[in-house]
Structure 1
Amino acid sequence: MGKHNFILVLIHVMVFMVPVIFAGLFSSSGNEIDDKDAAMDAFINPYDPDSYVAQFADEDQGSTRRDLHTTCEATNAIDKCWRCKSDWAENRQALAECALGFGKGTTGGKGGDIYVVTDPSDCDCENPKEGTLRFGVTRDRPLWITFDKDMVITLKHELVINSDKTIDGRGASVEIANGGGVSVYQVNNVIIHGIHIHHIKVMDGGRIRSSETKVIPRSKSDGDALAIFGSTKVWIDHVTLDHGEDGLLDVTMKSTAITISNCDFNHHDKVMLLGADDSHTEDKNMLATVAFNRFGEGCVQRLPRCRHGFFQVVNNDYNKWQFYAIGGSSDPTILSQHNRFLAPDEKSKKQVTRRNNAAEEEWKNWKWKSENDIFLNGAYFVPSGGDIQPTPEQSAGLIPPCTTPVETLTRYAGKLTCLPGQPC
């Protein structure tokens, strides 16, 4: 061996052996083999340019390694019931215990089988294909409906959901878009969670399956993104809604026991209607909760618009509506608590409230109350009717207002991005 080659070999031996020797001398862990391997890695890694750069990048961030796991923060009372648990995908139906407000006790498909949507098509509304969303929602038994992949579902006609169903979009990016909307029609016990409904159109009518044994003739739809009609125990949570032809979310015709929570509403005129019209006095018994929602960019009015019933609007974030925020007619009771109202810049649009179809002599007796709301940029609420004294049934469904800043409570409103095995 030449002198030059001998020196190169000696250098390589020293590079690899010196850290091992020093690790053995100064180790106090009692596990010499592991410590020697670690010391070896410490000297080898600098010769890997990528490792070397990564090491210094970490040191620039306070000498702490980057957390490879998704951070999770549950900010309001509903989310704290289920979020930030890494095993959520194995325990999906635990969500059924989390509804609050007047929809509390809505369990959807709890106790039923998991039905997985594998096919985004919607070709036959009378005899839907197994594997499609329409097939699942029309079964005559409780089902917890999930999705095996990201998908955009364009509905040929409105989607009519049967009782005891949960649509659970967690774990996939699920959109219902560019076609018919979703209808909860004369049923009971439905949860819709974790999907995006947008660009819903007016669709022709036809024969549409609503259960395994029933096909109903439906007239032309009006373009509502999500319509709840004559139904009870319905919970809409973490749904993103925007760009519909009519309403984004309508609750009408004797529907009650409704909670709308953690939703994100954007880019729409008539956003949320609670009560069909002034002549439908059956809505006097409506109880609805609107909580932890974000009314964001491009929302014009009806945030919500209420008729006849009793409504708690609590801990919502309002960002520059274009006409008004909370409105109503036909003597609704509206309890507005701990909301954040950021008014638009236009001077004539700063009033939060709007009464319709009544002179002041009449509406001054309607019970509309603001409690601890925050008013920004000149926003103001016109109360009426004096104190609200809820019945025992109404009191039982009220969500205690949270004093945490509304921006924090609604930070994760809308469809979440959830990966199985990581906190959601």
Structure 2
Amino acid sequence: MTAPFERTASPRTDGPRPAARTVLISGAGVAGPALAHRLARHGLRPTVVEIAPALRPGGQAVDFRGGTQLRVLRQMGIFDELHRVRTGGSPMTFVDADGRELLYLPAEFVGGDIEVLRGDLSRILYEASLEAGAEYVFGDSLTSLTETTTGVDVTFRQAPPRTFDLVIGADGLHSNVRRLAFGPDADHVTHLGHYAATWSLPRHSGLDLDLRPGAGSVGHNTPGRLASVAADHTDPARARAFLVFASPELAYDRHDPEAHKRLLRRAFAGLPWKVDRLLDSLDTADDLYFDSISRADAPAWSAGRIALLGDAACGATIGGMGTGTAVLGAYVLAGELSRSPGDHRTAFTRYESLLRGYAQDRQKGGDRTGRFLAPSSKLGLHLRNTLLGKPRILSWMLKAAKDATALALPDYPDRPVNSPSKQAH
């Protein structure tokens, strides 16, 4: 059955203006709805296509930090709502096999200035973009892109073909748009030596841990392995497991959760602490996320009428501050398109020039994530726990992380629009 498009009326302005350009965005995670919101507020007509049947709820916590990111959230009009649903931070405690504390990292180290669940952020951006006039289609994906002198002809797995002025890939590390327009993952994605997994489980699973919301995660390391668990911020009866392990690149089906479970059981078999109970909960897990910790690098972020945004352009699986970078990228890309009506090449060039260096610096955090969470040796574990246990070093790292997010950006004022009325078809 063909997935229906959910439509809203296009934004209106007083007086005549040229026909708004149409922009297809692949991906309704964070970058896609953020871009859709900004494009619609600038008078363009965005359509977002998402392979999942609906927005993905819950998920890991993500954060924003530093004045630049907070200013953009305020200019987008979503800061107050994000502040309302903030998690309060997620401290991390590392323990030995008997549960004795080895290292405690406070919430501000892990969660930045404001931390929210990824699902809450996605929902807020989605609702704001709908209100601005964006169009969404769920349960579908792109199958081909053919650029012409006047637009991009697009075919879909479900919906009939359409033509758009521009196409943006905001569909993550394993971007479908990047694959179709720039080449396969093998040309752009680098494995960084670790894999990560997360899933939900009943809070009372014989874990005997403090899993109250706000208590943060509790984890145990052996060389090259981390097993941790935390309260689920969305459901007091649930908890979330988070596992990381070191490994060369593995061959497996990315879309087969049973294969992922087998890999996790093999990697963590026989480890002490609560690991066996976490592995037992995999039997009933229906929301398992499993992926390599990898980095994506596109040599160019655009080609003709097609461009990349967020992790599709320059991303890391976890730890690279990718969420804040993606929202800044959406703000800049939409702003540059609004400043260069009819000249997407200039807009794409300015967008990449402003953001590439910043994104690559943030991306370096992802390069270090696996080694930080799951050091490969007993000495590495000891050094991490000892150094980060010193308040002066921790304070210096907090300040450096915040300072690194500063970026001078142009102002991109919205076009004056009336609130459109929502129309579903």
TM more than 0.5: no
TM-score by length of 2: 0.23
TM-score by length of 1: 0.23
- Structure of greater relative contact order (alpha carbons < 8 Å, 6+ residues apart): 2
Structure with the higher strand share, 1 or 2 = 1
**Pair member with larger Rg:** 1
